[in-house]
Protein backbone atom coordinates (compact mmCIF):
# COMPACT_ATOMS: atom_id res chain seq x y z
CA UNK A 1 0.00 0.00 0.00
CA UNK A 2 1.32 3.47 -0.80
CA UNK A 3 1.12 6.34 1.66
CA UNK A 4 1.96 10.01 1.67
CA UNK A 5 5.77 10.12 1.59
CA UNK A 6 7.37 10.75 4.97
CA UNK A 7 10.93 11.74 5.71
CA UNK A 8 13.04 11.53 8.84
CA UNK A 9 12.73 14.70 10.90
CA UNK A 10 9.21 15.63 9.73
CA UNK A 11 6.39 16.50 12.11
CA UNK A 12 3.36 14.20 12.01
CA UNK A 13 0.12 13.89 13.98
CA UNK A 14 -1.36 10.61 15.14
CA UNK A 15 -4.78 9.83 13.62
CA UNK A 16 -5.53 6.71 15.66
CA UNK A 17 -4.87 5.12 19.03
CA UNK A 18 -4.66 6.51 22.52
CA UNK A 19 -2.12 9.07 21.28
CA UNK A 20 -4.59 10.47 18.67
CA UNK A 21 -3.91 14.17 18.02
CA UNK A 22 -0.39 14.20 19.47
CA UNK A 23 2.48 15.62 17.43
CA UNK A 24 5.64 13.58 16.89
CA UNK A 25 8.89 13.82 14.95
CA UNK A 26 9.70 10.93 12.60
CA UNK A 27 12.90 9.45 14.00
CA UNK A 28 13.37 6.59 11.56
CA UNK A 29 11.60 4.93 8.63
CA UNK A 30 11.56 1.21 9.43
CA UNK A 31 9.95 -0.15 6.27
CA UNK A 32 7.09 0.60 3.89
CA UNK A 33 4.49 0.37 6.67
CA UNK A 34 6.16 1.41 9.95
CA UNK A 35 8.06 4.37 11.41
CA UNK A 36 9.61 5.25 14.78
CA UNK A 37 8.31 8.44 16.43
CA UNK A 38 9.50 10.61 19.31
CA UNK A 39 8.13 13.69 21.03
CA UNK A 40 10.73 14.08 23.78
CA UNK A 41 8.15 13.77 26.56
CA UNK A 42 6.10 10.56 26.54
CA UNK A 43 7.97 8.99 23.65
CA UNK A 44 11.64 9.59 24.26
CA UNK A 45 14.73 8.58 22.32
CA UNK A 46 15.08 5.65 24.69
CA UNK A 47 11.46 4.50 24.06
CA UNK A 48 10.37 5.58 20.56
CA UNK A 49 6.84 4.75 19.37
CA UNK A 50 6.52 2.25 16.52
CA UNK A 51 3.46 3.22 14.48
CA UNK A 52 1.90 2.39 11.14
CA UNK A 53 2.14 5.08 8.49
CA UNK A 54 -1.57 4.84 7.73
CA UNK A 55 -2.28 6.15 11.24
CA UNK A 56 -0.27 9.35 10.65
CA UNK A 57 -0.92 12.71 9.01
CA UNK A 58 1.89 15.02 7.94
CA UNK A 59 1.46 18.12 10.11
CA UNK A 60 4.17 20.37 8.71
CA UNK A 61 6.65 20.58 5.86
CA UNK A 62 9.33 21.72 8.31
CA UNK A 63 12.01 19.14 9.07
CA UNK A 64 14.27 18.77 12.07
CA UNK A 65 17.94 18.05 11.42
CA UNK A 66 18.60 14.71 13.08
CA UNK A 67 22.04 13.94 14.45
CA UNK A 68 23.60 11.49 16.89
CA UNK A 69 23.89 13.98 19.76
CA UNK A 70 20.23 15.05 20.08
CA UNK A 71 18.48 15.07 23.45
CA UNK A 72 14.81 14.70 24.33
CA UNK A 73 14.67 18.40 25.16
CA UNK A 74 15.67 19.19 21.56
CA UNK A 75 12.53 17.42 20.29
CA UNK A 76 10.29 19.19 22.83
CA UNK A 77 11.76 22.59 21.90
CA UNK A 78 11.46 21.91 18.16
CA UNK A 79 7.79 20.90 18.43
CA UNK A 80 7.01 23.90 20.64
CA UNK A 81 8.78 26.29 18.25
CA UNK A 82 6.60 24.96 15.41
CA UNK A 83 3.44 25.55 17.45
CA UNK A 84 2.76 21.98 18.56
CA UNK A 85 2.09 21.65 22.28
CA UNK A 86 1.71 18.19 23.80
CA UNK A 87 0.48 18.53 27.38
CA UNK A 88 1.71 16.09 29.99
CA UNK A 89 -1.88 14.99 30.63
CA UNK A 90 -2.75 14.11 27.01
Scored b (16 or more CB within 10 A) or e, 44-57 reads eeeebbebebeebe
Determine the Cα–Cα distance for residues 38 and 52; give it in Å rounded to an integer: 14
* Residues 22, 19: Cα–Cα separation, whole Å: 6
For residue 90, what pLDDT is reported? 43
Please report the pLDDT score of residue 1 as a whole number. 60
pLDDT < 70: residue spans in the chain: 1-3, 87-90
Query: Mean pLDDT, the chain, as a whole number?
Result: 91
Q: In what order do the strands lie in the sheet with 23-29?
A: 49-52, 34-38, 23-29, 10-14, 56-63
pLDDT of residue 4: 74
Q: Quick one: CATH architecture of 10-67?
A: Roll (2.30)
Q: Which residue, among 7, 13, 9, has the nearest Cα to 64 in the 3D structure? A: 9
Dump pLDDT digits (tens) for 37-61. Answer: 999 999 999 999 999 999 999 998 8
Amino acid sequence: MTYEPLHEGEIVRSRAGRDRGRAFVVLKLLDEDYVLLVDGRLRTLERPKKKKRRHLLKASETRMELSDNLLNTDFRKFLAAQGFQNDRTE
